[in-house]
Amino acid sequence: MTKRILLVEDEKPLCLLYEEELRGEGYEITAVTDAEAALAALREGSFDLIVTDIRMPGKNGIELITEIMGLRKDIPIIINSAYQSYKEDFMTWAADAYVVKSASLEELKARIKQLLGE
């Protein structure tokens, strides 16, 4: 069965890039650009994994994760951020992996595969 990924990224070009690339890997992607839209998508549908940015207008990625925990606790979450220095903190934020944004999407793809048990 096709795995469903919820992608939260406020930068439109990046959102488009991740959406296309992950779709190319055979996933079904729901791409949103802010935390509120992500929570709405989570209430409506089910997902196998969430990829989220941290710094976003409105609610940031950390606040989003906290709310997601209140909704459904068993979805693996990957933080995909431009901030290298937060990498040590991701465990305390209850995320399952932290990927520093890079022009090569290989690490992100590898982490997704690992967390989806592929």
Partner 1 sequence: MIETYNILSPSFEREAPRELMLLSIISQSFFQPFSLEDNLLVVLTALTSGSGVGFNRAMLFLKSDDRLRGEMWLGPRSAEEAGLIWEVLSTPGIGYVEILEHNRALVNKNADTLSARLRGLVYPANDPKALIPASVAGRKEILHVREAAQEPRVDRRFLNIIGVDEFLCVPLVAGDDVVGEIILDNAITRTPISPSDIKLAGICGLMAGNYIHSTTLHRRLLNMEKMAAMGEMAMFVTHQLRNPIVAIGGFTDQLLKPDLPEEKRVRNLNIIRDEIRRLEVIIYQMGHFLKVSLKEPVFFDPAPAIAEVLDSPQVQSRAKAYTLDAKVDACPPKILCDPTSFGEVLRNLIDNAFDATPPGGTISVRTYRRSPTAFALSVRDTGRGLTNPAKAHLFQPFFTTKDKGMGLGLPFIKRVMDTCGGSVEVLSRVGRGSVFKLQFISQERESTS
Q: Is 103 in the site for partner 1 (CB under 8 A)?
A: yes
Taking the C-alpha atoms of residue 96 and residue 69, their distance in angstroms, rounded to an integer, is 12
Taking the C-alpha atoms of residue 67 and residue 104, their distance in angstroms, rounded to an integer, is 30
Please select the residue that binds partner 1; options are 45, 55, 69, 114, rule is CB under 8 A. Answer: 55
Q: Is 109 in the site for partner 1 (CB under 8 A)?
A: no
Please select the residue that binds partner 1; options are 2, 46, 85, 92, rule is CB under 8 A. Answer: 85
Q: Is 14 in the site for partner 1 (CB under 8 A)?
A: yes
Q: Is 21 in the site for partner 1 (CB under 8 A)?
A: yes
Based on CB atoms, which residue is closest to partner 1, 102 or 114? 102
Nearest to 24 by CA among 95, 115, 112, 98: 112
- 65, containing H or E segment: helix 61-71
Positive or negative: CA dihedral 45, 10, 79, 4: positive
Based on CB atoms, which residue is closest to partner 1, 57 or 70? 57
Of the listed pieces 10-18, 42-50, 62-70, 90-98, which binds partner 1 according to CB under 8 A?
Answer: 10-18
Residue partners of 87: CB distance under 8 A and separation at least 6: 98, 100
Residue partners of 46: CB distance under 8 A and separation at least 6: 4
Q: Is 42 in the site for partner 1 (CB under 8 A)?
A: no
Q: Is 110 in the site for partner 1 (CB under 8 A)?
A: no
Q: Is 104 in the site for partner 1 (CB under 8 A)?
A: yes
